[in-house]
Amino acid sequence: MTKHVTARTQILELAARAKGAHSSDLPEFKSAYFAARCHDLMGEGLLFRAQLAHKHTRYFTDRAAAERAQAESGYDRNRKVEQPPAARAANKAQAFRKDAEVVFTPQTKFTACPGFKTRFEASAPSFIHSAVQSGRVTAAA
């Protein structure tokens, strides 16, 4: 049996299960190869796709099972995400002007980075420091 025939039969066997088939179920095949074989099988009408998240897809041999799995996941490809007022502005230059009010939403995240040096605190690179000490570079007057 060739690699393609083996992959097709394994994918169809996995897709017949209640949870369907996913590329992680067949680690011996690359995910791109798995997706290509599934696409071929979908073209033949043997598989049906259920997109459970942005990058998570399962394949089923039954259309009803695929629709049920997608409905249970709650993933909606066309959902609308509320954006903060600054991002909603038609003109970005006006939205991010210097005197614009800072907007904090419940989704705003703050991260503390202990030991992080800003660009004003960083020392000069070592090659500049050694060049100044050796006299190859003179300070501008």
CATH number of the domain within which 20 lies: 1.10.10
Q: Is residue 105 part of a domain?
A: no
- pLDDT score for 13: 92
- pLDDT score for 64: 93
The pLDDT tens digits for 61-78 are: 999 999 898 888 877 776
The count of C-alpha atoms lying within 13 angstroms of the C-alpha of 16, restricted to the half-sphere facing its C-beta, is 6
Q: Is residue 19 part of a domain?
A: yes
Based on the structure, what is the number of domains in the chain?
Answer: 1
Annotate the chain with three-state secondary structure.
CCHHHHHHHHHHHHHCCCCCECHHHCCCCCHHHHHHHHHHHHHCCCCEEEEEECCEEEEECCHHHHHHHHHHHCCCCCCCCCCCHHHHCCCHHHHCCCCCCCCCCCCCCCCCCCCCCCCCCCCCCHHHHHHHHHCCCCCCC
Q: Is residue 130 part of a domain?
A: no
Token code pair at residue 52: 């459970």
Q: Is residue 43 part of a domain?
A: yes
Q: How far apart are CA 65 and CA 32, in angstroms?
A: 24
Q: Is residue 52 part of a domain?
A: yes
Token code pair at residue 8: 């097709």
Q: Is residue 53 part of a domain?
A: yes
- pLDDT score for 141: 46
- pLDDT score for 96: 59
Q: Is residue 23 part of a domain?
A: yes
User: Facing residues of 59 across strands?
Assistant: 21, 49
Domain span at residue 37 reads: 3-73
Task: Indicate whether this model's pTM tops 0.75.
Answer: no
Q: Is residue 46 part of a domain?
A: yes
Per-residue pLDDT of the chain (141 residues; tens, 9 = 90+): 567 678 889 999 999 999 999 998 988 889 899 999 999 999 999 999 998 887 888 999 999 999 898 888 877 776 776 656 655 555 555 555 667 676 777 887 766 666 666 655 555 555 555 555 555 555 554
